[in-house]
Amino acid sequence: MEYPERVGSWLAATARNECLRSLAAHKRVVLGHGQGEIEISDQLGLPVGRIGPTRGRCPARLSVLLQAP
């Protein structure tokens, strides 16, 4: 090995990168066609394209409702 004093920092960086890669891989959720959007859109009676914008407004509406007397 050319620089043995750098082994510790290399090992720490490698371990950190592997941990981050592993966390990112486990966070990813991929729904196949008919598993998510279609079941939700049917239940709400909304087209698939309206689910995202509607869901985006929910936290703001909830905040207003929780602050109302």
- What are the boundaries of each domain within the chain? 8-67
In this prediction, residues 13-42 reach a mean pLDDT of 76
The pLDDT of residue 30 = 63
Residues with Cβ within 8 Å of 31's Cβ and at least 6 positions away in sequence, in order, are 37
Look up residue 15 and give its two tokens.
């371990």
Share of the chain above pLDDT 90, in %: 22
In the predicted structure, residue 37 carries a pLDDT above the cut 60: no
Q: Residue 3 is encoded by which pair of tokens?
A: 């620089």
pTM over 0.95: no
| Residue-wise pLDDT tens digits, 6-23 | 999 999 999 999 999 988
